Amino acid sequence: MKRKKKIIFHSNYSRVLTGFGKNAKNILRYLASTGKYEIIELSNGVANGHQALQTLPWKAIGGLPSSQEELDRLTSDPNLSRSAQYGHFQIDQVIKTEKPDIYLGVEDIWGLSPFIQKDWWNKINSMVWTTLDSLPLLPDAVKSASKIKNYYVWSSFAEQSFKEDYGINHVKTLHGGVDDTNFFKLDSVKRSSLRERFQIDEDSFVIGFVFRNQLRKSVPNLLEGFRIFKKNYPQSKAKLLLHTNFSEGWDIVSLIKEKQIDPRDILCTYYCPNCSNYEIKPFTGQEKDCPICGSSKSQNTVNISHGVNEKQLNEIYNLMDVYCHPFTSGGQEIPIQEAKLTELITLVTNYSCGIDSCNKDSGGLPLDWSEYREPGTQFIKASTSPQSIFKNLKKVFKMDFNQRKMMGEKSRQYVIDNYSIPVIGKKLEEIFDSMDYIEDFSFDLEKRDPEYSPNNSQDDSSWLIDIYKNILKIDLDHYDDGHKHWMNQIRNGMSRSNILNYFKSVAHSENAKIEKKDAQIGIEDIFPKNENKKALFVSTNSIEDLLLVSSLIKDFKNKFHNVDVYFSTKLTHHSILSGHPCIYQMIPYQKEFSSEKTMLQYFDYYYNFDLVQAPSSSIENKLINLSSQ
Query: Residue 236 domain-assigned?
Result: yes
Look at residue 381 in the predicted model and tell me its pLDDT.
97
Strands, DSSP E only, in 485-604?
533-538, 563-569, 585-588
Contact between residue 159 and residue 142 where contact means Cβ atoms under 8 Å apart: no
Helix axes 401-418, 421-433, angle to 10 degrees: 20
Neighbours of 98 (CB within 10 A): 17
pLDDT in tens, 243-271: 999 999 999 999 999 999 999 999 999 99
DSSP state of 77: S
- Structural domain containing residue 32: 5-177+428-433
Nearest residue to 593 via CA among 568, 573, 570, 572: 568
Q: How many domains does the chain have?
A: 3
| Residue 359 reports pLDDT greater than 50 | yes
| One domain, residues 192 and 260 | yes
Angle between helices 219-232 and 386-398 (to 10 degrees): 50
Secondary structure class of 280 (helix, strand, coil):
strand
On whether both 506 and 388 belong to a single domain, the answer is no
Q: How confident is the model at residue 531 (pLDDT cuts 50, 70, 90)?
A: low
Q: What is the pLDDT of residues 457-484, one digit of tens each?
A: 999 999 999 998 899 887 777 666 678 8
Residue type, 172: K
DSSP 592: G
**290 vs 288: CA distance, rounded Å:** 6
Residue 443 lies in a domain: no
Sheet holding 150-153, edge to edge: 59-64, 37-47, 5-12, 102-105, 125-130, 150-153, 172-173
Q: Are strands 322-325 and 206-210 parallel, antiparallel or unpaired?
A: parallel
- Give the per-residue SS3 of 320-339: CCEEEECECCCCCCHHHHHH
393 within some domain: yes
- For residue 189, the model assigns a pLDDT of 97
In a domain, 622, yes or no: yes
The answer to whether the beta carbons of residues 539 and 569 sit under 8 Å apart is: yes
Mean pLDDT of 105-119: 91
For residues 211 and 167, state if they share a domain.
no
Q: Is 144 found in the same domain as 211?
A: no
Q: What per-residue confidence (pLDDT) applies to 617?
A: 40
In this structure, are 354 and 223 located in the same domain? yes
In a domain, 448, yes or no: no
Q: Are 263 and 245 in contact (CB under 8 A)?
A: no
- Find the CATH number of the domain harbouring 140: 3.40.50.11930
Looking at residue 615, its pLDDT comes to 36
Give the DSSP H or E segment for 25: helix 19-34
In a domain, 444, yes or no: no
pLDDT for position 256: 98
Domain annotation covers residue 439: no
**Domain match, 141 and 229 both:** no
Same domain, 149 and 224: no
In terms of Cα–Cα distance, which of 80, 140, 77, 149 is closest to 108? 140
Closest CA to 209 of 368, 39, 347, 66: 347
**Distance of alpha carbon 137 from alpha carbon 171, whole angstroms:** 13
Q: How far apart are CA 509 and CA 500, in angstroms?
A: 14
Cα 74 to Cα 81: distance, rounded to the nearest angstrom: 5
* Residue 593 and residue 607 in contact, taking contact as beta carbons nearer than 8 Å: no
| pTM of the shown model | 0.72
Distance CA 172, CA 439 (A): 28
Distance between CA atoms of residues 474 and 468, nearest Å: 5
Confidence of residue 509 (pLDDT cuts 50, 70, 90): confident
Write phi, then psi, for 512 (nearest 5 degrees): -60, -40
Distance of CA 103 to the CA centre of its chain: 17
Are 128 and 193 in the same domain?
no
Asked if 332 and 244 sit in the same domain, the reply is: yes
What pLDDT is recorded for position 571? 66
Helices 616-627 and 543-559 meet at what angle, rounded to 10? 30
Same domain, yes or no: 317 and 360: yes
Same-domain pairing of 82 and 172: yes
Residue 375's CB: how many other CB atoms inside 10 A? Answer: 7
Asked which of 66-75, 84-93, 189-198, 410-419 is least confident by mean pLDDT, the reply is: 66-75
pLDDT tens by residue, 282-336: 999 999 999 999 999 999 999 988 999 999 999 999 999 999 999 999 999 999 9
**Which of 415, 449, 471 finishes a domain?**
415
DSSP state of 584: S
Beta carbons within 8 Å of 335's beta carbon, 6+ residues apart: 210, 211, 323, 325
Q: Does residue 511 carry a pLDDT above 90?
A: no
What's the whole-number average pLDDT of the chain? 89
Does residue 169 sit in the same domain as residue 314? no
Q: Which one is predicted more confidently, 557 or 26?
A: 26
How much is the pLDDT for 502? 86
Torsion of CA 129, 131, 134, 135, to 10 degrees: 0
In a domain, 611, yes or no: yes
- Segments in 35-107 forming alpha helices (H): 68-75, 78-85, 91-98
Tell me the CATH number at 324: 3.40.50.2000
